Chains A and B, each alone.
Chain A
Amino acid sequence: MAQHESTYQPNTGVERWLDDRLPLPRLMHDQVNAFPTPRNLNYWWTYGGILTFCLAVQIITGVVLAMHYQPSAEMAFDSVEHIMRNVNWGWLMRYTHAVGASMFFVAVYIHFFRGLYYGSYKAPREVLWILGVIILLLMMATAFMGYSLVWGQMSFWAVTVITNLFSSLDSIIPGVGTAIVEWIWGGYSVTGTTLTRLFSLHYLLPFAIAGVVVLHIWALHVPGNNNPTGVSVKQNSDTIPFHPYYTTKDMFALTLFALLFAWFVFYAPNYLGHADNYIEANPLQTPPHIVPEWYFLPYYAILRAIPNKLLGVIAMFGSIAVLFLVPWLDTSRVRSARYRPLYKWFFWLFVITCLVLGYLGAKPPEGAYLTFGRIFTAYYFIHFLIIMPLLGAIETPRATPKSITEDVLDKASKGDGDAGAIAGVSGAPAAPETR
C-alpha cells in the first residue's frame, strides 16, 4: 500500500522547482489526496480525523488560555475566574478547552474500541497500535496536569492523590517513593511550586502528542488502513483514493461530532466537571468525596478495588500497560470480530465492564460498590490475559470474504442488513473503481 507508485504531477515550474528541493507537495498528494484507502470503511473509521481536530482545538484554545492564566498558588484560581469574567471571549476559550478534554477522551475511547473490535492491532499494525497506547498515556498525563491548573479543591486533591501513587514504591525500597514524590512536589506537600511545574509540562506535552501522532500516521501509512472485514487489500478495486471520498466522509462525521461538542460548550459546560472545583484549593481540608474526571473513573475503580497500596497502583497502571501486549495476547488468525462469533460477545462484555468500572469509580469505596469493583477489575484483566489468548484456540471463525471488493459487491447485490445503513450512507455501490 505504502509502496504505491507516486502519482504526483508537478504542473508548474514552481512545483517542479520545489519538487527537486523539498517534495512536500508530493508527500501530501501521495499520502493524503491519492492515498489508496479500503472502500468499505464505516463511520467508526472517522475518529482518527476527529481526534486530530480535538488535538488542534486543545492546542489553540490552550495557547490562548496561557496568555491570561497565572500559574501560582496565589493567582491561579483567581486568574481562571478572571478569564471567565473579564477576558474577551475567555469563557468560550475555557469552556471549549475543558469540554474539549472530555470530547478528546470520548473520541479516543471509541477509537480504541474500534481497534479492539476489528482487530486493528494485529500484524502488521502492532507498532501503530503501540504508538496509539503511548498517545493515550500522554493524553492522560496532559489531562491530569491541565485539571490541576484550575487549583480548585478537586484539582488540588487530585494532584495529591495521584502524585502520592509514586510513594507506593516505598514498600519495595524504603525511602525511594518518598524521595520521588518530594522531587515531583518540590517540597513536602503539594504547593504553588508544584503547580508551576505542572503548568510547564502541561504546555509541553501536547506538542509531544503531536509528534507521536505524526509517527502514528506514518505507521498507519505503511500497511494502510485496516477495514471492517479485516481482510487485507489485495487489488486496486479494493481501494478508493482518500480524497475526496474519505475527506468528505470524515468532514461529515466531524460536523456531527462538533454538534455534540458545541452542545456541551454552550448548554452544559459544567456538566462533565465537578462543582467542588469551584472552591479554591485548601491544603487543610480534603473534600468529603474525591472523584477524578469521568474519563479516569474506570482506572480509579481499579485502584481502589485492591486493598494493598502498591498492588492497587500496579493494577491501575497495568490496566493500560496490558494494552501494549494486546497484539500478542490475541492469538486468533482472523482480525475482524465480524467473523469471530465468540469474540464478538466477549468484546461487548468488555465494553460493559469498562462502563461499570466507570460507574463504580464515581461511587464511595464501600460495601457492594467495593465488591463489584473487585469482580469487574478481575474481569478486566481476565479479558486480556485469559480470554483473548484462549479464544484463538477454541473459536471457529466464520469464513472471511475473499476480498474487500467481493464483500462490498455481495452486500450491495443481496441488500445484506449487517451494514446496510452504513453501506447506504457511504454509497458503497456507487463508489467507482479506481484506475
Chain B
Amino acid sequence: MATDQSDSTRRDFLLVATGAFAAVGGAAALWPLVDQMNPDASTQALASIEVDLEPIEAGQAVTVLWRGKPIFVRHRTEEEIKLANEANVSDLPDPEARNADLPEDAPATDINRTKKDHENWLILVGICTHLGCIPKGQRLGDKKGEFDGWFCPCHGSHYDTAGRIRKGPAPRNLDVPHYEFVSDTKVKIG
C-alpha cells in the first residue's frame, strides 16, 4: 500500500509539474504572436514636425500630419478666445485639460488648452474622441457646430473654440499634443 501511495503521489507531482511547464511555455510562445501586431519600430520612431505659423491669418486654420494623425492648428480671433473663456469649466462634459504638457488633473480652462502668451494659437489632435472621425471646422465653409469650434459629422459631437466637447457622444476634449514654440512664428510638434 505504502509503495502504491508514494507512486501515485510521484505521478501526481509529475503530472502537475509537466502541465505547469507546458502552460508557461505555451503562454511564452503566445506572446510573440500577440505582440507582433503592436506598432513596430519604424512606426514608433518618434518623428516631430515643425510648422511655420507665419502665413496663417487670424480666423484661419491648417491641418498638418503628425504620426499619421491630423493636427489642427487654428489661429483664433479675439471673439473666439472670448467665447472659449466664457464657458464655465465645471459645467463642461469633460472638465480636464487633456494637455500632454500639463498634469492629468489640470482643469479645462482656455489657458490650459493653449500655451501662455500664445493664446491665439490652438493646436489639437484633430481626431474626434468618440470614434476617430475628423471633425469639420478647419475650412471656412465648414459647419462648425453649435459652439463655433468643430463639428463631427459622424455621430454629431460639437466642440467649442478651445476644442472642448460640449454636446454629443464624444467623451473627451480634443487632445492637445506635446508642442513648443521654437520662435514666435514656428512650433515644434512632438
Contact with A along B117-156 (1 / 0, CB 8 A): 0000000000100111111100000000000000011111
Residues 159-190 of B at the A interface (beta carbon under 8 Å): 168-171
A189 x B39 contact (CB < 8 A): no
10 closest cross-chain pairs (CB), A and B: A164-B132, A189-B68, A164-B131, A161-B131, A286-B134, A365-B156, A286-B133, A160-B132, A187-B43, A309-B171
| Complex Cα spacing A278 to B24, Å | 49
Residue A44 lies at the interface, judged by CB distance under 8 Å to chain B: no
The minimal Cβ–Cβ distance linking A312 to chain B, given in whole angstroms, is: 6
Chain A positions 268-300 with a Cβ under 8 Å from a chain B Cβ: 283-290
Q: Mark B59-83, 1 if CB is under 8 A from A, else 0.
A: 0000101011110000000000000
Q: For the complex, is A134 an interface residue (Cβ under 8 Å from B)?
A: no
Kindly report which residue of chain B lies nearest to residue A282, judged by CB atoms.
B134
A217 contacts B by Cβ under 8 Å = no
Is B40 close to A, CB under 8 A?
Answer: yes
Chain A residue nearest in CB terms to B64: A284
Which residues of the partner chain A approach B40 to less than 8 Å between Cβ atoms? Answer: 186, 193
Task: Classify chain B's interface size.
Answer: 20 to 34
In the complex the two chains form, is A157's CB within 8 Å of B133's CB?
Answer: yes
Give the distance to chain A from B173, nearest Cβ to Cβ, in Å.
13
CB < 8 Å neighbour of A284 from B43, B67, B70: B70
* A290 (CB) vs chain B CBs: closest residue: B154
Cβ of B38 under 8 Å from chain A? yes
Which residues from chain A contact B1 at a C-beta distance below 8 Å? none
Chain B residues with Cβ under 8 A from A283's Cβ? 65, 68, 70
Per a CB cutoff under 8 Å, which of A184, A188, A289, A364 touches B69?
A188
Contact B38 A186 (CB under 8 A): yes
Closest chain A CB from B179 CB (angstroms) = 16
Q: Which of B68, B152, B169 has the most CB of A within 10 A?
A: B169
Given A288-B153, A308-B169, A189 contacting B134 (CB threshold 8 A): no
Chain A residues with Cβ under 8 A from B43's Cβ?
A: 186-188, 191, 193
The residue from B34, B69, B153 contacting A286, defined by CB atoms under 8 A apart: B153
Q: Decide yes or no whether A122 CB sits under 8 A from chain B.
A: no
Given A286-B153, A366-B156, answer yes or no on A187-B169 (Cβ-Cβ < 8 Å).
Answer: no
Q: How far is the CA of A233 from the CA of B167 in the complex (A)?
A: 58
**Cα separation A364 to B151 with both chains bound (whole Å):** 13
CB distance from B157 to the nearest CB of A (A): 10
A354 within 8 A of B: no
Known: A182-B38, A189-B127, A283-B70; 8 extra A-B contacts, CB below 8 A, are A163-B132, A165-B131, A167-B131, A167-B132, A186-B43, A193-B40, A286-B134, A304-B169
Question: What residues of A have a CB within 8 angstroms of the CB of B169 in the complex?
Answer: 304, 306-309, 312
Interface assignment of A248: CB less than 8 Å from any CB of chain B: no
Specify which chain B residues have a CB less than 8 angstroms from the CB of A157 in the assembled complex: 133, 154
16 contacts between A and B (CB under 8 A): A170-B171, A171-B171, A183-B34, A183-B37, A183-B38, A185-B39, A188-B67, A191-B68, A193-B40, A283-B70, A285-B134, A308-B169, A309-B171, A364-B153, A365-B156, A370-B156
What chain B residues lie within 8 Å of A365 (beta carbons)? 155-156
Minimal Cβ-Cβ distance residue in A for B35: A183
Q: Complex Cα distance A168/B65, Å?
A: 24
A residues near B127, Cβ cutoff 8 Å: 189
**Judging by beta carbons under 8 Å apart, are A161 and B134 in contact?**
no
From 312 to 367 in chain A, residues with beta carbon under 8 angstroms from any chain B beta carbon are 312, 364-366
Give the shortest distance, in Å, between A190 (CB) and chain B (any CB): 8
Q: Which residues of B contact A308 (CB under 8 A)?
A: 169, 171
For the complex, give the distance between the alpha carbons of A288 and B127 in Å: 15
Residues from chain B with Cβ under 8 Å of A162 in the complex: 131
Known: A164-B132, A283-B68, A309-B130. A304 touches B155 (CB 8 A): yes
In the complex, whether A197 has a CB less than 8 A from a CB of chain B is yes
A189 to B67, CA, bound (A): 8
Cβ B39 vs Cβ A182 within 8 A? yes
Q: Is A186 a contact partner of B131 (Cβ separation < 8 A)?
A: no
How near does chain B come to A178, taking the closest CB pair, in angstroms? Answer: 11
**Inter-chain contacts of A189 with B (CB < 8 A):** 67-69, 127
Determine the distance from Cα of A157 to Cα of B39 in the docked complex, in whole angstroms.
20
